[in-house]
Amino acid sequence: MKKTIVLLSILSLTFINNSCSEDFLDTTPTQQIALEDLLNEYNNDAGAESFVTAIYSKYLDWNISSFAWIGMSSIVTDDADKGSSPGDSGSDKDVLDALTFSSTSPSFQDVWEGHYQAINRSNQALKYLPLLDKADASLRSRLEGEAKFLRAFSYFILVRSYGDVPLVDKVFENTEADRTMVFTRKSKAEIYAFIESDLQSAIATLPQKNAYSGTNIGRASKGAAHALLAKVALYQKKWQQVIDHCDQVVGYSLTPNFQDIYKVSGENNAESVFEIQGKGGPSQPGIQQYSQVQGARGAGGWGWGFNTPSQNLVDAFNAAGDTERRDATIIIKPVTLYDGRLVPATVENNYYNYKAYSSAFTGDDDSDANIRYLRYSEVLLMKAEAMNELGQTANAATFLNQVRNRAGLANTTAVSQADMRTAIYKERRLELAMEHDRWFDIVRTGQAQAAMAADGKTFKVGTHEVFPVPNKFILEAKGLASQNLGY
């Protein structure tokens, strides 16, 4: 009897397996696959690549990179407002903006399910790649490293968002033990240890970024794994580890013109460490409506108008005299954009997210704009922060100033450790604005309550440090998992 690999849709984790063609962004869903058929049909280089291509393709989906994630990572912050029309709630973007969300707010379920779907695809790749003995051994080794990097990436999103989460490190087999696995929340410390293990293993097999070319550009690299490990260490205040991993991110440089980073022509450039790849256009996979939901709304616009930069953020740029990064981050109406598109005064909102803009976007659901997740400038800022925390304040200034100078700003005047810490925090805000990091930054650094109060919002200490676990998951866990405090 054939052993069958079943497409699982288990509880709120919604595990789905997709396999893809040789282009690592092209997606073609599979049906049930018998093990014998897998060995016959996928036991080659292209078949091996298809398992990992399926993981990358998941990050293009609506529930992992688009509306819900934009709400959770940006609209909740002082960097952005809900935007759109006053009467358009965007499902739950109004309550996210007001910090009055609950465990039934749908965005939390979307992001939870999306990342566990990605994790399941990683688990499937790691289970079946070793069986494909006709595929090149070095290729399989690299692919296993990519799968582990992507699994670690998803767990990093989850642990920052929800705190304790289930540690699903294998393909679900519908046993009682596996049911316990998917519904038992593990501590943040356990999740971080697992992430570190995956990334260390990935480093051993991944190539440097410059080893990739053609359709492979954008795959996980050794530098990306070190950068993500540095960020994982940053969140745990393992300062020396932050420095050590930042030092291993080699072969990268700052883009001279800040705005050039966010053009399609700037994707995967010398500053790019890791970004989600979106091609877009006819028969080309793009990130589902990522640009559309954030595009200018109303007469003369091209999108839904959500996630609009806040006046608070505009004021922060102005106070720093940082016009270069302000004008590359925020579309301020009326204005002519770098590609000649006119944003007229007739659009509904005053500000829009320039970093999500695609010059090629014409109203299609899937745009070709990439999402930048790790840039070399952040590596420099992480190193500066860690050095300052270890008392190496003067040396920290060197790395902070590289980022400031690129933005056309003078060297920092901070001298004391406390002043340098404040300067680095401010620099992170302006450098990484609208890049899905602000909320997690202000939580980890203890700035959240004051920052939200300054933006007219109430941050509940002891509750809002993590988002609620989706209510659907709690119900299906049937006592195996409990809700985060305050929800």
pLDDT digits (tens, 9 = 90+) for 243-253: 999 999 999 99
Decide if 254 is inside a domain. Answer: no
**Residue 175, Cβ density class (10 Å: 0-12 exposed, 13-18 middle, ≥19 buried):** exposed
Phi, psi of 287 (to 5 degrees): -80, 120
pLDDT averaged over every residue in the chain: 91
On the question of pLDDT at 21 being above 60, the answer is no
Model confidence at 12, in pLDDT bands (50, 70, 90)?
very low
Please, are residues 12 and 113 in contact by the beta-carbon 8 Å criterion?
yes
pTM across the whole model: 0.93
Number of domains into which the chain is organized: 1
- Taking residues 359-367, report their average pLDDT: 65
On the question of pLDDT at 151 being above 90, the answer is yes
pLDDT digits (tens, 9 = 90+) for 93-117: 999 999 999 999 999 999 999 999 9
Decide if 349 is inside a domain. Answer: yes
Which residue type, as a one-letter code, is found at position 291?
S
Decide if 345 is inside a domain. Answer: yes
Model confidence at 285, in pLDDT bands (50, 70, 90)?
confident
On the question of pLDDT at 217 being above 80, the answer is yes
Contacts of residue 485, defined as CB under 8 A and 6 or more positions apart, other chains included, come to 462, 463
- Taking residues 427-451, report their average pLDDT: 98
- Taking residues 226-230, report their average pLDDT: 98
SS3 sequence, 78-131? CCEEEECCCCCCCCCHHHHHHCCCCCCCHHHHHHHHHHHHHHHHHHHHHHHHHH
Domain that residue 343 falls in: 287-369
Model confidence at 362, in pLDDT bands (50, 70, 90)?
low
Please, are residues 170 and 128 in contact by the beta-carbon 8 Å criterion?
no
On the question of pLDDT at 377 being above 90, the answer is yes
- Taking residues 37-52, report their average pLDDT: 89
- Taking residues 43-70, report their average pLDDT: 95
What pLDDT is stored for residue 333 in this prediction? Answer: 98
What pLDDT is stored for residue 361 in this prediction? Answer: 57
Decide if 86 is inside a domain. Answer: no
Decide if 106 is inside a domain. Answer: no
User: What is d(CA 185, CA 159) in angstroms, rounded to the nearest whole number?
Assistant: 11
Greater pLDDT, 103 or 34:
103
At 372, list the tokens: 């930048």
User: What is d(CA 333, CA 349) in angstroms, rounded to the nearest whole number?
Assistant: 8
Please, are residues 159 and 165 in contact by the beta-carbon 8 Å criterion?
yes
What pLDDT is stored for residue 32 in this prediction? Answer: 52
User: What is d(CA 484, CA 468) in angstroms, rounded to the nearest whole number?
Assistant: 6
Cα–Cα separations (whole angstroms), residue 157 to 15, 164, 306: 17, 12, 22
What pLDDT is stored for residue 283 in this prediction? Answer: 64
Please report, in angstroms and rounded to a whole number, the separation of the first and last CA atoms in the chain. 48
pLDDT digits (tens, 9 = 90+) for 366-375: 778 899 999 9
What pLDDT is stored for residue 437 in this prediction? Answer: 97
User: What is d(CA 202, CA 378) in angstroms, rounded to the nearest whole number?
Assistant: 21
Please, are residues 485 and 463 in contact by the beta-carbon 8 Å criterion?
yes
Q: Which of 2-16, 63-77, 95-109 has the lowest mean pLDDT?
A: 2-16
Decide if 477 is inside a domain. Answer: no
Decide if 295 is inside a domain. Answer: yes
Residues facing residue 304 across a β-bridge:
none
Decide if 175 is inside a domain. Answer: no
Model confidence at 7, in pLDDT bands (50, 70, 90)?
very low
